Amino acid sequence: MGLADETAAFLGSILLERGLSGNTAAAYGADLRSFREFLEGRGISRAGQVSRADILDFLERGRRDGLAASTRARRTAAVRGFFAYLAGAGEISANPAGMVESRRRGRVLPRVLSEGEVSELIDAADAKDARGLRDRAILEVLYGCGLRVSELCALSLEDVVSEGELLRILGKGSKERLVPIGRSAGEALNLYVESARPQFAKGEKSGTRVFLTRLGSPFTRQGVFKIVRERAAAAGIAAERISPHVLRHSFASHMLAHGADIRAIQEMLGHADIGTTQIYTHVDAGRFAEIHRRYHPRG
């Protein structure tokens, strides 16, 4: 796979899994096209051939060309995200951008839904037929377990362990973790598997994947994204506010709001770095301010 295919795969991933806006994805695409042209000028045709020096030279060229600080910060984020994606997918053996300093202008807070909006979204999947049972289970598991959409798609029946109380998840970098299912998600998942999945299963074609399309095939990320958007529209939630990854963000934010330990959230999300998880303390700043006002003697 060459640079053009590698960048296309990354851009598709950030649209589906991270729920970035079309404008942001387009800007990242322009940044990576510039990067690809720069590399091709050096005779580099695949990401696996790129060195840290190549990346630094490209970023330095942007400074010399007079690009705005905000543009350079976005360009750095695009390159870092691109190589992190390839490393996580096992497409490259080492991440040459891993030690490249991030030029942050200030962290962008993740989008989340309110608890009420999540309830309305899940209720929009009316569990009166097989499709409704399936879609409701998808939404419950995404939100109830904080899974990445790729992790949900890869979920097999054998991954439901400990008498249905845990999910065994193979996350980024092939790191395995156990995630509690929770009562509501567990009930929805069990009902789907017992009552609805047999109606979608088509023998060997379906294999042991948990979530199946009407054709009996395992779900793709695009298919799950479509279901989330469809049910969100029925719940009156604007399309630009919702994606599978927004449900993952909402899981973490709501867990923190109800007193969960941040390191426990880190483990459930499968974050290698606690700093990645700490962004949710910023999302929940309003709750902390309210606690301060309520309990501090001079609040």
- Cα–Cα distance measured from residue 11 to residue 79, given in angstroms and rounded to the nearest whole number: 11
C-beta separation of 211 from 155 below 8 A: yes
Q: Which residues are catalytic?
A: 148, 172, 245, 248, 271, 280
Q: Which residue is it, tokens 């580099």?
A: 44
Cα dihedral 74, 77, 78, 79, rounded to 10, equals 130
270: left (phi over 0), alpha (psi -120 to 50) or beta: left
Sequence-separated (6 or more) residues with CB below 8 Å from residue 114: none
* Sign, Cα dihedral of 196, 202, 203, 207: negative
Both structure tokens of 146: 């904080």
In DSSP notation, 156-195 reads BGGGEETTTTEEEEE-GGG-EEEEE--HHHHHHHHHIIII
d(CA 74, CA 31): 8
Q: What's the token pair of residue 23?
A: 């404008």
**In whole angstroms, what is the distance from residue 35 CA to residue 192 CA?**
46
Q: Residue 86 to residues 1, 42, 44, 164: CA-CA distances in angstroms?
A: 11, 21, 16, 33
